[in-house]
Copies of this chain bind each other. A is one copy, B any other.
Amino acid sequence: MIKQERAARTREALVRAAAEVFAEQGFVTASIAAISRRAGVSAGGLHFHFENKAALALAVEDRAAEALRCVTVGGGGRAGGGSLQVLVDSSHALMALLAGDVVVRAGFELSAESALARESGVDLRRQWRLWVEDVLRAAAREGSLADGVSPQDAARAVVAATVGLQVLGAVDRDWVLPPTLTRFWALLLPRLAASGTLGELVAEGTGAGDESRTLCRGVISD
Which A residues lie at the B interface, using CB under 8 A? 26, 28-29, 112, 115-116, 125, 149-150, 153-154, 156-157, 159-165, 167-168, 170-171, 175, 180, 183-184, 186-188, 190-191
- 17 further A-B contacts with Cβ under 8 Å, apart from A153-B187, A157-B187, A163-B163, are A26-B28, A28-B29, A112-B167, A125-B171, A153-B183, A153-B184, A156-B183, A157-B188, A159-B164, A159-B168, A160-B161, A160-B175, A161-B161, A161-B164, A163-B168, A164-B165, A188-B191
Q: Which one, B115, B168, B171, B188, contacts A171 given CB within 8 A?
A: B115
Identical chains bound together, number: 2
Residues of B within 8 A of A164 (CB): 159-165, 167
Most buried by B among A28, A161, A184: A161
Pick from B165, B170, B183, B191: contact of A187, CB below 8 A: B191
Q: How far is the CB of A64 from chain B (nearest CB, A)?
A: 16
- Contact (Cβ within 8 A) B28 A149: no
Task: Identify which of A125, A164, A168 gathers the most chain B CB atoms within 10 Å of its CB.
Answer: A164
User: Can you list 19 A-B contacts (CB < 8 A)?
Assistant: A28-B28, A28-B29, A125-B168, A150-B183, A153-B183, A153-B184, A156-B180, A156-B183, A160-B161, A160-B164, A160-B168, A160-B175, A161-B164, A162-B164, A163-B168, A164-B167, A187-B191, A188-B191, A191-B191
Minimum CB–CB distance from A176 to chain B (whole Å) comes to: 10
Contacting pair A153 B116 (CB below 8 A): no
Return A20 CB to nearest CB of chain B, in Å.
15
Top 9 closest pairs, chain A to chain B, by CB: A164-B164, A160-B164, A163-B164, A191-B191, A160-B161, A161-B161, A153-B183, A115-B171, A28-B28
Contact A184 B156, beta carbon cutoff 8 Å: yes
